[in-house]
Amino acid sequence: MGPGYLNLTNRRSPEWIMNMILNVDVMLDEDPIARKMLEECLVRMPNQNISEEEARDLLEFFRHIDEEHAGVRDQGVL
Ligand code: HEM
């Protein structure tokens, strides 16, 4: 449904990713990058009531797959 996750941590900062998972409605309304993705995808990512701890686990998972598949992680600055 949404953009692929490969290289996510090389495209975006950890703060941005955490915000997208935890505060998706605010991000889709106010963050320029998220707004642009919404314009392209035409689907609002749903708020899934994920806890902060779960969001941290997801971030670690994204880091892990970037390291495994791209050989590099945490390059995202925006
Ligand atoms: C735990 C589950 C999920 C996580 C961790 C997650 C995470 C993310 C992240 C980090 C982005 C930004 C991607 C980027 O910058 O390239 C994103 C975007 C997006 N996600 Fe999810 N997502 C989840 C579930 C879903 C579900 C269930 C949908 C189904 C509709 C969805 C639809 C989208 C869409 C359409 C976007 C692009 C922005 C928009 O148009 O709203 N996501 N997601």
pLDDT in tens, 25-72: 999 999 999 999 999 999 999 999 999 999 999 999 999 999 999 999
Inside any domain, residue 51: yes
pLDDT of residue 78: 83
Measure the CA–CA gap between 30 and 5, rounded to whole angstroms: 22
Cα separation of 28 and 57, whole Å? 22
In which band, very low, low, confident or very high, does the pLDDT at 1 lie, cut at 50, 70 and 90? Answer: confident
For a substitution probing ligand 1, which of 36, 41, 45 has the most ligand atoms within 8 Å of its CB?
45
Domain containing 12: what range? 8-70
**Calpha distance 36→48 (Å, rounded):** 21
Has residue 61 been placed in a domain? yes
pTM over 0.75: yes
Give the end-to-end CA distance of the chain in Å, rounded to a whole number: 22
- Specify the number of domains making up the chain: 1
- Domain at 47, CATH number: 1.10.760.10
Residue having the nearest C-alpha atom to atom 18 of ligand 1: 2
* Residue 13, SS3 per DSSP: coil
